[in-house]
Structure 1
Amino acid sequence: MLLLSAAFSGASVAMPAVAQESVMAPGEIIVTARRVEERLQDVPISMTVYNEDQLQDRNVAVASDLATYTPSLSVNTRYGPEKATFAIRGFNQDAAAAPTVGVYFADVVGVRAQGGTASGNSVGAGSFTDLQNVQVLKGPQGTLFGRNTTGGSILLVPTKPSDFLEGYVEGTYGNYDQKRVQAAVNVPLADTFKVRVAVDRNKRDGYMKNHSGIGPDDYNNVDYTYGRLSIVADLTPELENYTIFHYSESDTNGYATRYESCDRDAASPFVGGSLTRYYTALAACDQIDRQTARGDGPLDVEVANPDPRIYLRTWQVINTTTWQASDMITIKNILSYGEYREQAGFSLYSDNFFVPNTPTTQYFASQGGLAPGDRFQYITLDTQPGYDAAAESTTTEELQIQGRTLDGKFNFVIGGYLEFSRPIGWNQQRTGIYGNCADPGTLDCSGGIIPVTLPAGAIPGIPIALGGSAALISQSRTKMSFDNHGIFAQGTYNFTDQLALTLGGRWTFDKIVGYSESSRYTLGTFPLVGTIPLQQVCNDVLNHPTDNPLADGQGVCNTKITQKTNKPTWLIGLDFKPTLDTLVYAKYARGYRQGAVNFTNPGLETVGPEKVDSYEIGAKLTFRGSAPGYFNIAAFYNDFSDQQIFGALVAKPDSGLAGGAALINAGKSVIKGIEVDSGVTLFDMLRLGAGYTYLDTKLKELTPPTLSADSPFAEIIPRGVVGGPLTYSPKHKLTLSGDLSVPAGDAGVLKLGAVFAYTASQFVDGNNKIPSYSLLTLTAGIDDIGGTGFDLGLFANNITNEKYRVTSGGGYESSGIQDFAYGQPRMYGVRLKYNFGT
């Protein structure tokens, strides 16, 4: 009741996701949202800031964890939290699209990840350890930041080496056998040379329990190692060199989703239905019936994958050189190189399928196909031996010149940005479809649901025709190169101490060069013969209708696509400060997101860029005195065109494909809303915060491209409904927080904390809607126990143990199944931290 009354008392109505010091002393929080250090309350951007204590209390270990507590920020964890994609204010990332939200570490964008499944090009697991703060910027930020994005940016600011010998060691033990150790040490080797080292090792069992009896006992586990080395060298009093090397390695069982519904009336192929949809829909119904008979709950799954794995390795080195050329000019150069590698083998739809027992399946069994009760798999991805599912490097170079005039009326930033992402190997996988495969990566399969006939005499010594069953193996390898360059300038002129005008502009040049070799095996299994390859054809049936890779090699299926775009973006803003503690602003910005290339969909491999015109007005108010705090509010309106929309592809019956997922320019939308963010400190010990976002998204136009007559696909089904909302765009998100710090004499400082987060219902897969959910986090502890430097803390996330859906795999249109992923259940544990040094 205290939290609620404070949150809506008029002086504090918004966001808890701010650094704790900002509530106590708003002028002391320094952010870099405009590439220079500024007071949080002086920046005309709607943003959220977390400090290290808040990240720890919320158990934020990977970037996707932020979305639970940040209004306006949503996340799609379709392929697991380490490969999450983000949405701010309804700007989503689907399929192979470029991110709408840029994730930056020490001012450098995340290393590109160009595997076969979507990824947000984020930072590696563990990157949230030992941070100074995290800043979530809302709205287009392309004028000053590396890659152009339409939704916003997330900035991770690592703790910089300092002049003090200090550090900490922290251990955590929690339920699901969580064991986590974090440590950091800062060593000033000289007045001009300082080093800081940070490490994080985190391991936890999965919370999705597997009942198939095959493979691991659980999914959605955590197992990563992270390390960082930071060095600051003051080469001269005016020249600083700051180098960071960080490394992340995550090796888990991957994710699992739970089947919730199926098409029990799937049409038989004998009455015009799809053979593959008939088998998968009814097999999914049987799986749901087994779940019901066991009395399974939302966190129980049934996945028949003997060896699932998602292995991610990311490393990056960042060098920032800052030269104070004069009192008026600062020159900064930021150079980075990083690599991303991924190996992945998992069941795309978390299935444990058996051939259903119907007259239709009995007939195909009589023709040599799989018999009712035989196992088959829907779509199983696997890494081909000797290759990575993704292997990409990213090099960036950014030069900034920051300056101001002698009278202080005009300050500016100008610069240039270069980014080169290059393959460091093939992105190569084999995918088993409709088969019974022990290992699709090595073509170890036996049978499938597709009936086939081996002609008489095709095998020496077999004079009769044999009926059998077949599985499909899609073998795809790609190499992707990206060039993203830009020149930019932004300046603010202060007409008076109260009134300022900001103008910014950028021209971005993007280029994608993609090369693909993609084919499909048909592996037939026959009595007396076993499993043999019947044929291998190119998946790109439009450009390679007659090529024979089985005879001539995979290279005959080559396709090369080059896409170039260049666009201007800009910013116009007006700021008015009637007092030191009051800021009112209005701005108009053009946002842009580059196009994309996706080879998995013949005839629909490319998508063009999208743009948005963003309008925002806002106010930031600071309160001082006995109850210091702040109140920030922003209203925004976005006109979104050439929108990149995800569309489900329904394959033609004779195509041999399992459907697809295309990215198409099909949409126009309007996105509008209000964000409120505030906090207050009472009695010098109780910090209260609240945040609320109202988001109204409406799809105005949805026109999919026309398929050619020779396309392997029969239909494109765009995800969304004209007049309906966009995906990952809950209409309401509310967060309330309270932190109490009470000195307890020689015993230390008693600390209590609570965070309540509410997320309204939302669409997560075009036409799939998940219900609303509320999460409560509680923390308690004593800092500096008895003056020893030890901190002891208890934490509990999702203390009510709510079972809530977070995303959907989709696929009802093409396969008659509907599955959902679930968020973390109650997580609790104890932390012990030792602080040493100054």
Structure 2
Amino acid sequence: MIRFHAATSRLAIGAALMAGFSGTTSTASAQETSAQEGWGSGTPIVVTARRREEDLSRVPIAITAIDSEDLVERVVISDADLQRTVPGLTIRQTQGNNSLTYSLRGQSADIFSGSPSAVITYLNEVPIPVSQASSFFDLQSIQVLKGPQGTLFGRNATGGAVLFTTAKPTDVTEGYLRGRYGNFDRMELEGAVNVPLGENGAVRIAGNLTYRDGYIDNLFTGDELGRINRENLRVSVRFNALETVENTTMVQYSNSHGTNTGASYTYSVYAPGETNNGFALTSSAGFLFSPAVDLLFGAGAWDAYLAAHPQAYAPGLPAYVDEQHRLGPYKTNHPSGARHFGDSWTVTNITEVELGSNLKLRNILGFVDSYTNSQQPQLGAPFITILTENLATGVVGNREDLRSWSEEIQLQGEAADGALEFIVGAYFQRQRTNTLFPQTYFELAPLLPFTPATNHFRIKNHTDAVYGQASYEIGGGLTVTAGLRYTWEKVYGLQLAQSDNFGPPEQTRRYSDPSWEVGLEYLATPELLVYAKTRGSFRSGGYNGTLSPTFVASVGASNFFNSETTEDVEVGLKYSGSLMGRPVTFNIAAFQQWLHDVQRVEFPDPDGPAGPIASIAITTNVPDERVRGIEAEGSIYLADWLQLGGQLALTDAEYTNNQVVLFGNTFAYGPVGDTPKASGTAWAELAFPAGNSMGEISLRGELYAQSGQYFSNAADSVAPRTRLPGYELLNARLSWNNIMDSNFSAALFANNLLDEEYFVGGMQLAVALGHNAAVVGEPRMYGLELGFEF
């Protein structure tokens, strides 16, 4: 079977939506299976958005689900790949490819923030942190749930949740081996073997090795940025102690080395005296690292600096912006290293006990232990304005050491002859995070001594919650759903040894917040579901570890910031049936969401005019934000050999009350960052019969496109010139499965086929230092894949 996904522009995506061809990868896989087996008997897509298995077309939530087959066919092998498969989801990169935050429906977490992500990721129903890129391997599915999910998934899921489910041990001896080789000397090996253990269970062992050279040349050091060296091993064991009891344990170890891409593209620098909409801009870096420094130290000062720094750019930092344009996106001049190291252990244990035909008890235990140490390039120019190392102490790299335990117990069941479905549960989590930020500011020898700084702090979160949700079928296809969750949390903040703020005792603050949901769904026909719902949830408050408790106490303030709260309204339609006798699926959702005490980072100067070094990053609460939009997806088989489809997300986000006063200074926020107004994917599939003895030949491609986005939340005031342009990525894959009726397969693939130059995020240090840098997207990546299944 040959497949080809194609489109030409964002206009094509919009036209596809109007024609009803906007779609998800999950529906594509379902329709493909339907065509192979007879499209009238299509296989449903099973999701767990309501903590139980259900047909995707019957779940009243905006969801994109990607099954195991589609993950392979669309070459979704890491976090960044999700963005092109789930329009509306932004995988935000601040300090490069190993500094990630998921953003959905206008909600994310800023750089240097004490705020948790607004989009929570789960592995086998256990919440896991995302700070570095990972490799996806041997997954059963990925589900992206959009909008507040606090009732069933807990605090912080105000933008949504991403559910990763690993392949489970089965009762069949089976396995696979898949290898890839591509440009930049990319080598990847992935495999799994499943072995039954008689009637009492099974074991599945899976692993992945990924190696690739970097694609950004650091002209200053000779390093390659973006180099990958990842090794992963997973063991899953299913044990059936009794006929009514099943226990599944998964243990995964991941190790990552390489170099960070960093924010290695110098994007904008502010000149002395520059203003924006009446706001004075920080210009310390642009002034000190330029010939203008002679005005401060006298004639010849700049020449003395250049003599001590022969690799510096003689015209100065402000002029380097044009030099960066000349060099292009894949050349940088960062004057330090960019190494990355990370490893993690993850354990999940799920026990299910059938208490009767309509009652099930589930226990979900999780453990996560992760550590990262990264040098993060935060500017691509050959000047040391800021380093992620302390030149005075010799400590190098931002470090995060996280350990989390979670325990959840659920009771699921049905009553009233199946008309009532319910779930009640309790959740407990204990998390501890140690964070170390070594820094050096403004190395200006021989004019000024550099300024070292170190933040080192511990944050502990103790979380307890109870929840319940029920759906009752009133009759005539109408069902009502209601749910409530209440969470109690205690946050501890402590300055650790090595910190410039070390000394004060541990501080604590308690938070408690509700999450809720009320909805109606109407199954108008077996093919058509319409729904309306309203939800409320929150993002937990926290502790500003980079802020001195001693200073805060002296001005009567607090190191803690408030919880962020939200409520929304969503209406949607899901159709899975036929149009003019051909299979078609179409899902559309419209939403409006209100957020209060929005958690954002600012860089105030607490000492007044003490100078640029006094500026620090703290999380504060912006009064109000409003987000609204439309998300649609679907597919249609025009013929047995031709399928069209796509996805579209339109998002309008703005701060409706945007001013915050910090240490006597007023800061204004807007536009909302990390939120493109439009993003989508358009595709087509062609199927050519090759004969049973030949196997299945497939060609597929797709075009992902998005409009521009800001990597700052204050571009209209103190951080202008932080808007990234929109871009389009064309991807393609030619595959041959069951070669000559065998278990072997082969494929050629290419992402960013037209070698588009684009940006995927940025590091805004506008207020702190007066410059901003962007994160470069990957160039064209292509290769050969060989596979074997047994």
**TM bucket by the smaller chain?**
0.7 to 0.9
Structure 1 CA distance, aligned partners of 2:98 and 2:453? 25
State the match for 2:277 in structure 1: none
In structure 2, give the amino acid aligned to 1:80: G
Equivalent residue in structure 2 for 1:761, among 686, 704, 708: 708
Cross-structure match for 1:640: 595
For residue 337 of structure 1, what is the amino acid of its counterpart? F
Letter in 1 for 2:98: E
SS of 1:815's equivalent?
coil
Q: Is 1:245–1:318's contact at 8 Å kept on the other side of the alignment?
A: yes
Letter in 1 for 2:711: V
Evaluate the alpha carbon distance shift between residue 225 and residue 448 of structure 1 in structure 2; reply closer, same or farther with a 3 A threshold.
farther
Task: State the 1:223 CA deviation.
Answer: 1.6
Partner of 2:767: 813
* Aligned position for 2:615: 659
1:797 to 1:677, Cα distance in 2 relative to 1, 3 A: same
Do the aligned partners of 1:161 and 1:231 also contact (CA within 8 Å) in 2? yes
* TM-score after normalising by structure 2: 0.86
Tell me if the contact between 1:252 and 1:309 (Cα under 8 Å) persists in the aligned partners: yes
Do residues 43 (structure 1) and 74 (structure 2) align? Answer: no
For 2:399, the equivalent position in structure 1 comes to 389
Could you list the per-position Cα deviations for residues 701-735 of structure 1 after superposition, in whole angstroms to 9, with x for gaps in the alignment? 11213416xxxxxx4645x33xxx41111111121
Which amino acid in the other structure matches residue 400 of structure 1? Q
Identity of counterpart residues, as a percentage?
A: 27
SS of 1:67's equivalent in the other structure is helix
Deviates more, 1:405-414 or 1:285-294: 285-294
How far has the Cα of 1:72 moved from its partner? 1.4
Is the CA contact 2:195–2:202 (under 8 Å) kept in the aligned structure 1?
yes
Aligned position for 1:678: 634
Contact (CA 8 Å) 2:93, 2:101: kept in 1 or not? yes
For the Cα contact (< 8 Å) 1:590–1:613, is it kept in 2?
yes
What is the CA-CA distance between 1:579 and the residue it aligns to? Answer: 1.1
Relative to structure 1, the CA distance from residue 9 to residue 735 in structure 2 (aligned partners, 3 Å threshold; closer, same or farther) is: closer
| Deviation for aligned residue 1:9 | 7.9
The answer as to whether partners of 1:73 and 1:88 remain within 8 angstroms in 2 is yes
Cα deviation, residue 61, structure 1? 2.7
Within the alignment, does 1:403 sit opposite 2:434 as a pair? no
User: Which residue of structure 1 lines up, in the alignment, with residue 118 of structure 2?
Assistant: 100
2:379 is aligned with 1:349: yes
Q: SS at 1:612's partner residue?
A: strand
Matched, 1:697 2:653: yes
Shift of 1:780: 0.5
CA distance in 2, matches of 1:667, 1:273: 25
Which residue of 1 is the match for residue 240 of structure 2? Answer: 234
Residue aligning to 1:485: 464
Name the structure 2 match of 1:279. 288
Matches within 5 A, 1:442-461: 447=445, 449-450=447-448
Question: Counterpart of 2:249?
Answer: 243
1:67-82 maps to which residues of 2 (within 5 A)? Answer: 67-82=83-98
Residue number in structure 1 paired with 2:22: 14
Structure 2 counterpart SS, 1:743: coil
Structure 1 distance, partners of 2:88, 2:612, is: 41
Seen in structure 2, the aligned counterparts of structure 1 residues 109 and 809 have a Cα distance that, compared at 3 Å, is: same
C-alpha displacement at 1:654, in angstroms?
A: 3.3
Q: How many residues align?
A: 724
What letter is aligned with 1:790?
Answer: F
Aligned mates of 1:248, 1:30 — CA distance in 2? 28
Match of 1:640, as an amino acid?
Answer: L
Partner SS state of residue 616, structure 1: strand
Counterpart pick for 1:174 among 164, 169, 182: 182
Aligned to 1:416: 426
Distance across 1 between alignment mates of 2:5 and 2:702: 13
1:420-569 to structure 2, matched below 5 A, reads 420-423=430-433, 426-435=434-443, 447=445, 449-450=447-448, 470-517=449-496, 538-539=500-501, 555=502, 557-569=503-515
Q: Do the aligned partners of residues 3 and 422 (structure 1) sit closer, same or farther apart at CA in structure 2, a change above 3 Å counting?
A: closer
Following superposition, the deviation at residue 27 of structure 1 comes to: 5.0
Distance 1:175 1:833 in 2: 19
Structure 1 residue 434 displacement after superposition: 1.9
- Does the CA contact (< 8 Å) of 2:6 and 2:702 recur in 1? no
Deviation at 1:667? 3.1
Could you tell me how far 1:3 is from its partner in structure 2? 5.6
Deviations, residues 345-366 of structure 1 (Å, cap 9, x unaligned): 333334421xxxxxxxxxxxxx
Q: 1:770 to 1:749 in 2, by over 3 A?
A: same
Counterparts of 1:129-168 in structure 2, within 5 Å, are 129-168=137-176
Alignment partner of 1:110 is 2:128: yes
Of the three residues 721, 725, 729, the one matched with 1:771 is 725
Task: Return the letter of the residue paired with 1:632.
Answer: N
C-alpha deviation, 1:315, in angstroms: 1.1
Measured in 2, the distance between the counterparts of 1:835 and 1:320 equals 28
Q: CA–CA distance in 1 between the matches of 2:270 and 2:146? A: 40
Distance 1:806 1:650, change over 3 A: farther
The one-character-per-residue Cα deviations of 1:306-359 (angstroms, maximum 9, x if unpaired) are x43221111111110001110010000001111011112333334421xxxxxx
Change (3 A) 1:508 1:68: same
Q: State how far apart, in whole Å, the 2-side matches of 1:692 and 1:53 are.
A: 22
SS in 1 for 2:83: helix
Assess, with a 3 A threshold, how the Cα gap between structure 1 residues 107 and 15 changes in structure 2: closer, same or farther.
same
Distance in 1 between the 2:530 and 2:682 partners? 25
**Cα deviations by residue, 1:120-150 (Å, 9 ceiling, x for unpaired):** 468x612x21111110000000100143421
C-alpha displacement of 1:646 = 2.3
Partner deviation per Cα, 1:351-402 (whole Å, 9 max, x = no partner)? 421xxxxxxxxxxxxxxxxxxxxxx453333696699822121001000100
- 1:333 maps to what in 2? 363
2:270 matches 1:263: yes
* 2:387 aligned partner: 379
- Structure 2: stretches of 5+ with no match in the other structure: 35-41, 275-280, 292-311, 553-557, 716-721
CA 1:621/1:678 → structure 2, altered by over 3 Å: closer, same or farther? same
Quick check: 1:778–1:797 contact (8 Å CA) kept in 2?
Answer: yes
Q: How far, CA to CA, are the matches of 1:387 and 1:335 in structure 2?
A: 32
Q: Distance in 2 between matches of 1:129 and 1:577?
A: 36
- SS of the residue 1:493 aligns to: strand
Question: What is the Cα deviation at residue 221 of structure 1?
Answer: 2.3
Confirm or deny: 8 A CA contact 1:262 1:281 kept in the other structure.
no
The whole-number CA distance in structure 1 between the counterparts of 2:25 and 2:676 is 18
Amino acid at match of 1:45: I
Question: TM-score of the superposition, structure 1-length normalised?
Answer: 0.82
1:70-101 deviation digits (Å, cap 9, x = unpaired): 12111211123333111111112122211100
One of 788, 793, 797 as aligned partner of 2:751: 797
Cα separation, partners in 2 of 1:190 and 1:624, compared to 1, 3 Å? farther
Q: Name the Cα RMSD after superposition.
A: 2.7
From 560, 565, 578, the equivalent of 1:611 is 565
SS of the equivalent of 1:775 reads: strand
Structure 1: state its 5+ residue gaps: 112-119, 354-375, 437-446, 451-469, 521-537, 540-554, 709-714
- Worse-superposed segment, 671-680 or 39-48: 671-680
1:772 Cα deviation from its structure 2 partner:
1.0
Cα distance between partner residues in 2 of 1:275 and 1:237: 70
Select between 50-59 and 83-92 the one with higher mean Cα deviation. 50-59
Task: Give the Cα–Cα distance (whole angstroms) in 2 for the partners of residues 780 and 758 of structure 1.
Answer: 21
Give the secondary structure class of the aligned counterpart of 2:148: coil
Cα distance in structure 2, aligned partners of 1:563 and 1:653: 31
- How many Å apart are 1:265 and its aligned residue? 4.2
In 2, the alpha carbon distance for the partners of 1:607 and 1:449 equals: 39
Residue of structure 2 equivalent to 1:125: 134
Q: Structure 1 residue 319 and structure 2 residue 349: aligned?
A: yes
Code of the aligned partner of 1:262: V
Contact persistence 2:271–2:286 (CA under 8 A): no
Counterpart residue number, 2:38:
none
CA distance in 1, matches of 2:435, 2:710: 31
Distance, in Å, in 2 between the alignment partners of 1:74 and 1:389 is 24
The aligned counterpart of 2:718 is none
For 2:167, the aligned partner's letter is T
Alpha-carbon offset, residue 560 of structure 1: 2.7
Deviation at 1:775, TM superposition (A): 0.7
Secondary structure of the 2:80 match is helix
Q: What secondary structure does 1:742 align onto? A: coil
CA contact (8 A) 2:699 2:733 kept: yes
Q: Is the 8 A contact 1:16 1:736 kept in 2?
A: no
